[in-house]
Amino acid sequence: MTRTHPPERAPVVAPAPPEAAAAVVAVSGVTRRFGDVVALDDVSLDVGAGELVGLLGPNGAGKSTLLSLVSGQRRPDAGTVRLLGGDPRDAASRAGLGITPQETGLPPTLRVREVVDFVGGHFADPVPTGELLEQFGLTDLARRQTGALSGGQKRRLAVALSLVGRPRVVLLDEPTTGLDIGARQALWDAIRAYHADGGTVLLTSHYLEEVQALAQRVVVVDRGVVRADDSLDAILRRVGLRRVALRSASDLAAWPGVVRAERRDDGTQELYTADADTLVRELVRGDVDFHDLQIRGASLEEAFEEMVMQEATR
């Protein structure tokens, strides 16, 4: 993927997983088209055992297409996809895979307990249904038909279903979209616990907060191409921007060292810079009148925006 980065930047190398040779998910040079649309363009991605990887990108970036290739629902036009060392289109290769159904896709006439039994019945050693329901706080709903569940309850059931077969790797597609904070925290805890037990996680989100909260490694995908693949810290460091917010009568957008500037409705200026210390020192030295100074690191969202903008202007 390094070829997509400008030469003046430090080359981005994925942190080598402990057992790089036995990658749990190995995607190599994969291209996938739908008619004229190129959903994935020569994408390569290895996920090692025990990694928790966040796949981040805007809607339509190719995240879900990538997951559907890894789960064997589609086949690539070019390149190879391996799952746990096998072809994901062979049912046997998927014995160690867990995925979430879309929450709207649960069979509405089946009860919660029945859906768990049914999905668990596909695996050699499923988690006992009672235990799984307990863990996800669904015990009281065991006899409820899934059609009568709330959105949050369906989400919890969906994530529970991905773990029922004690998978070695789970693919989570937007696991907590549309949930309130408490429910989201509970699901994050479940995902962290699974990972702490040695499980491998590949999750997609356009929820930047989610990736920031869970992932150790972040893969940024945009328009079918991997834009960056690195540890969470390195992604943030790589863009290396600090956000300086202040109020001032003069427009500071063109000040040296300011990469990007935005003006909020309340008159606050937000300046993004690689070196906040120097910028502030220069402002003081230049006798610029400012107040309400705030400085913090850029969030993943801001880092991501910067990354995509730079790709677009190149």
For another protein, the binding residues (CB under 8 A) are 19, 22, 34, 49, 68, 71-75, 84-85, 91-97, 99-102, 104-107, 109-110, 114, 118-119, 121-125, 127, 131, 135, 145, 163, 165-168, 190, 193-194, 196-199
The C-alpha atoms of residue 1 and residue 14 are separated, in whole angstroms, by: 9
Nearest alpha carbon to residue 280 among 244, 249, 234, 236 = 244
Any idea of the CA torsion for 161, 162, 166, 170, to the nearest 10 degrees?
A: 180
Written as one letter, the residue type at 80 is: T
- Least separation in angstroms between residue 232's CB and another protein is 22
Q: Which is nearer to another protein, 5 or 144 (CB)?
A: 144
Specify the residue, 109 or 313, whose C-beta has the smaller distance to another protein.
109
Q: How far is the CB of 310 from another protein (least distance, A)?
A: 33
Helix spans in 137-296 (H): 151-163, 181-196, 208-214, 232-239, 276-285
CA 60 to chain centre: 14
263, 12, 53, 79: which is closest to 170 by C-alpha? 53
* Nearest approach, Cβ of residue 133 and another protein (Å): 13
- CA distance linking residue 158 with residue 100, whole number of Å: 5
- Amino acid identity, residue 191? I
- The torsion defined by the Cα of 286, 291, 292 and 294, in degrees rounded to 10, comes to 0
- What is the closest distance, in whole angstroms, from the C-beta atom of residue 151 to another protein in the complex? 14
CB of 266 to another protein, least distance (A): 43
**Residue 135 Cβ, how far from another protein at the closest point, in Å?**
6
Residue 5 C-beta: closest distance to another protein, Å:
31
Q: How far is the CB of 250 from another protein (least distance, A)?
A: 54
Yes or no: say if 171 and 67 are a contact pair by the CB < 8 Å rule. yes
CB atoms under 10 Å from CB of 10, counted, come to 10
Secondary structure class of 164 (helix, strand, coil): coil
Nearer Cβ to another protein (123/290): 123
How would you classify the pairing of strands 37-47 and 200-205? unpaired
Q: Are strands 217-222 and 37-47 parallel, antiparallel or unpaired?
A: unpaired
**Given the complex with another protein, which of 35 and 256 has the nearer CB atom?**
35
CA-to-CA separations, 36 to 33, 57, 244, in angstroms, rounded: 7, 21, 43
Choice between 68 and 212, CB closer to another protein: 68
